[in-house]
Amino acid sequence: MEARVCVIGAGPSGITAAKNLLAEGIQNVVVYEMSDQVGGNWVFREEQSHSSVCETTHIISSKRWSQYEDFPMPDEFPDYPGHRHLKAYFQGYANHFGVTDKIKFKTRVNKAEPRDDGKWVLRVNGPDGSSEQVFDYLLVASGHHWDPRMPEYPGVFNGKVLHSHHYKKAEPFRGQRILVVGAGNSGCDVAVETARVAGKVCISMRRGQHIIPKFMFGIPSDTVYTWMLWVPKAFRQKLLQLSLWIWQGSYERYGLQKPSVGPLQMHPTLNSELLYFIRHGEIHPRRGIQRYKGRTVHFVDGTQEDFDVIIYCTGFRSSFPFLDTDVVDFRDATEVPLYRKMIHGDYPNLFFIGLFQPLGCIWPLADYQARIAARQINGKWKRPANLKDLIRKEVEHPHFNFEKHPRHATEVDYHQFRKELLAELKRAS
């Protein structure tokens, strides 16, 4: 009997999962997608949805490094395409590889449970109502940038509070006093975008952050970084640090704290406008938050200031609400014990696709993960006998020695991870 395979999600990871299943001759595939179209996070909507992109979001990994390796982006796309281009690209990919026909849109997976015989029972709800569906294999590609991680501080803030996930455009904030919390990629984007219309924008940072421009020498910075790959990591870090210093000077010049670690020891922020906006007096750096009282925010350096709005740009939790927490619970985990960030030690027919955070783009590597899953399903790739030892080793030897934090639990070096996935595929017969 042909295996029945389910993919949850038709975002960049889900469509490449389905493509690889079909390419391996596995035709009995169903993709459940709760929205009405392909593209996941890259389907911008003004109303609240799964997507966390805003009106002006562009990718931070460049076009060269952000295309599926068998489906190049069109020549007319810019170096850093925006969400409209990306949505068209993903929908084109799904059509090209015959994936769209396999998708059941407007169908949400509410529950996925392993049965005694090992099969997965899914409770789904779609246009035809609710039903139970049984599958031999489950590929989870539901994304990990949609469930807001909200910090807590003492006191109560009386103004408006939201997370970057809920931020859609700058206009509603015209004339307001805004505090953006966090200087990651979303934080810097939101600060810059709101600064174009707001009364005043401050950005609160608990610690120094490396800010990498999107271009160096007129070339996308991730391409410049690949020129340094032949250099050993420790020296590469010094080289990158020196390049950043030549490019933009010391962070103290901008009123920012000096980062306590090198640029390869924290998830990088790619933004070419934050420093420029600071020096134009449009964004004001502030230290970490200590407490709230009414509209007043007290900072850890003893200063205080009144705001109308706080926008938390504090990242996301990796949540899978349709799976029981005894299957996986990664919401606040500092470790994600999956082999190659995809293979569960206890469930041989469960895979996670795209559940990693590269210094680079997710979907070209999700493509390789999906190929491994497809080849396991058709018997060409074998799970290692010492899988649990390998999982432990992977957790204990991350690619980067970042601070232990849930945000870093799935961090990988793009180029190293690519090599590891390709080595797995070489093992397939």
Ligand X SMILES: Cc1cc2nc3c(=O)[nH]c(=O)nc-3n(C[C@H](O)[C@H](O)[C@H](O)COP(=O)(O)OP(=O)(O)OC[C@H]3O[C@@H](n4cnc5c(N)ncnc54)[C@H](O)[C@@H]3O)c2cc1C
Binding site for ligand X (CB under 6 A): 8-14, 32-35, 40-42, 50, 52-53, 57, 59-61, 66, 108-109, 141-143, 145-146, 186, 322, 354, 361-362
CA torsion sign for 192, 194, 197, 203 is negative
Range list of H helices, 165-218: 185-195
What's the closest the beta carbon of residue 41 comes to ligand X, in angstroms?
A: 3
Q: Quote the least distance from Cβ 142 to ligand X, whole Å.
A: 3
Question: What residues contact residue 384 under an 8 Å CB cut-off, 6+ apart?
Answer: 339, 390
Amino acid at 408: H
- What b-and-e string marks burial along 115-129, b requiring 16 or more CB atoms within 10 Å of the CB? eeeeebebebbbeee
- CB closer to ligand X, 50 vs 102: 50
C-beta of 41 vs 157, nearer to ligand X = 41
Cβ at position 247, least distance to ligand X in Å: 21
Judged by beta carbon, residue 32 or residue 312, the one nearer ligand X is 32
In whole angstroms, how close is the CB of 55 to ligand X at the nearest point?
Answer: 11
Q: Which residue's CB is nearer to ligand X, number 15 or number 297?
A: 15
Shortest Å, Cβ 402 to ligand X: 17
CB closer to ligand X, 42 vs 312 = 42
Torsion angle, CA of 230/231/237/242, rounded to 10 degrees?
-110
* Residue among 214 and 298 whose Cβ is closer to ligand X: 214
**Which residue is associated with the tokens 């299957």?**
327
N residues, the chain: 429
Cβ nearer to ligand X, comparing 93 with 277: 93
- For residue 319, the minimal CB distance to ligand X (Å) is 9
Shortest Cβ distance from residue 138 to ligand X (Å)? 12
The tokens describing 316, both together, are 């996301």
The C-alpha torsion from 392 through 397 and 399 to 402, rounded to 10°, is: 100
Strand spans (E) along 115-216? 120-126, 129-135, 137-140, 147-148, 155-157, 160-163, 177-181, 200-204, 211-212, 215-216
Residue 175 C-beta: closest distance to ligand X, Å: 25
Contact 119, 136 (CB under 8 A): yes
**Which residue's CB is nearer to ligand X, number 8 or number 278?**
8
Q: CB–CB of 272/185 below 8 Å? A: no
Nearest to 193 by CA among 213, 208, 211, 178: 178
Which residues does residue 203 pair with via DSSP β-bridges, in sequence order?
A: 180, 285
